[in-house]
């Protein structure tokens, strides 16, 4: 349920106060930060889960059985990405970094939009669509290689070294998270005095544990997400509104 304008305005004022008071902000972002760029999320109505069977297709085993399906879904995301620009919320995080407030973006997204917005310290917990790795010999490839092979009719694309199957460098259900990324994410989350969760349902673990590290260490939590999350009751502010609208109001008030 969306909030009244008056309530929203009060919350934006409070959010600005928390940002101004904070020394070390960390943001955890999810697919909801990119929907206004035209990239569907998983769990919103019309999201990718309404088209694909997640447990089968987004799993490590499912990929080995039907690699072409992940590539088709990846192509759908890439198609959206080609036409898209970072959203106002991506720009907000870059701005907070420029202001010396935001230290790190921890993202569950694989779309590279934080980097394109200019954020310099981005931890990609679930990998990236921009690269792939041969499951047989370990050779790395930029996504342009996979795109070219697919355009030539090779689906799934194969390694030019050993003809092995190339897997996009994204974390699927059943895959371990990149150890370094998860470790650093836990450290920066624990150091943060303000954690901004933007556009995440906070149901995918272990990423969903990250805000609890900030809270356990005395930091504050702000959640901006259209749907309820499990963390709402422990957050200092919960804003259930579109991120673009929240950013417009925040930029207006802050005059950065």
Q: What is the 3-state secondary structure of the chain?
A: CCCCHHHHHHHHHHHHHHHHHCCCEEEEECHHHCHHHCCCCCCCCCCHHHCCCHHHHCEHHHHHHCHHHHHHHHHHHHHHHHHCCCCHHHHHHHHHHHCCCEEEEEECCCCCHHHHHCCCCEEECCEEEEEEEECCCCCEEEHHHHHHHHHCCCCCCECCCCCCEEEEEECCECCCCCHHHHHHHHHHHHHCCEEEEECCCCCCCCHHHHHHHHHHCCCEEEEECCCCCCCHHHCCEEECCCHHHHHHHHHHHHCC
Q: Which of 44, 59, 212, 236 binds ligand CNA (CB under 6 A)?
A: 44
Q: Which of 110, 185, 188, 194 binds ligand CNA (CB under 6 A)?
A: 110
Q: Which stretch binds ligand CNA (CB under 6 A): 2-10, 18-26, 95-103, 105-113?
A: 105-113
Q: Which CB sits closer to ligand CNA, 15 or 159?
A: 15
Residue 247 lies near ligand CNA (rule: CB under 6 A): no
Among 90, 114, 126, 143, the active-site one is 126
Q: Which of 15, 48, 92, 122 binds ligand CNA (CB under 6 A)?
A: 48
Whether 90 sits among the annotated catalytic residues: the reply is: no
Q: Which of 111, 122, 134, 195 binds ligand CNA (CB under 6 A)?
A: 111
Residue 42 lies near ligand CNA (rule: CB under 6 A): yes
Q: Which of 226, 232, 236, 237 binds ligand CNA (CB under 6 A)?
A: 226
Q: Which CB sits closer to ligand CNA, 35 or 115?
A: 35
Residue 32 lies near ligand CNA (rule: CB under 6 A): yes
- Residue ranges binding ligand CNA (CB under 6 A): 30-32, 34-36, 39, 41-44, 47-48, 108-111, 126, 199-201, 204, 224-227, 242-243
Catalytic residues: 126
């Amino acid at each position: 349920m969306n909030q009244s304008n008056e309530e929203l305005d009060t919350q934006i004022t409070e959010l600005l106060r928390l940002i101004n008071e904070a020394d070390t902000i960390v943001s955890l972002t999810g697919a909801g930060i990119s929907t206004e760029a035209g990239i569907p999320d998983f769990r919103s109505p019309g999201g990718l889960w309404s088209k694909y069977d997640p447990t089968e297709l987004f799993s490590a085993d499912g990929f080995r059985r039907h690699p072409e399906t992940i590539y088709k879904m990846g192509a759908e995301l890439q198609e959206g990405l080609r036409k898209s620009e970072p959203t106002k919320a991506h720009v907000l995080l870059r701005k907070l970094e420029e202001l010396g407030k935001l230290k790190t973006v921890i993202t569950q997204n694989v779309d590279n939009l934080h980097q394109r917005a200019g954020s310099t310290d981005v931890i990609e917990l679930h990998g990236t669509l921009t690269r792939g790795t041969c499951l047989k010999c370990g050779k790395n490839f930029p996504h342009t290689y996979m795109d070219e092979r697919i355009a030539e009719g090779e689906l799934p694309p194969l390694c030019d070294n050993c003809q092995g199957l190339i897997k996009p460098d994204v974390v699927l259900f059943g895959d371990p998270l990149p150890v370094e990324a998860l470790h650093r994410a836990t450290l920066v989350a624990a150091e943060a005095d303000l954690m901004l969760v933007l556009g995440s349902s906070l149901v995918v673990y272990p990423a969903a544990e990250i805000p609890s590290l900030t809270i356990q260490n005395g930091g504050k939590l702000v959640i901006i997400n259209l749907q309820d999350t499990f963390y709402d009751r422990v957050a200092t502010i919960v804003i259930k509104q579109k991120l673009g609208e929240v950013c417009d109001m925040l930029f207006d008030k802050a005059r950065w």
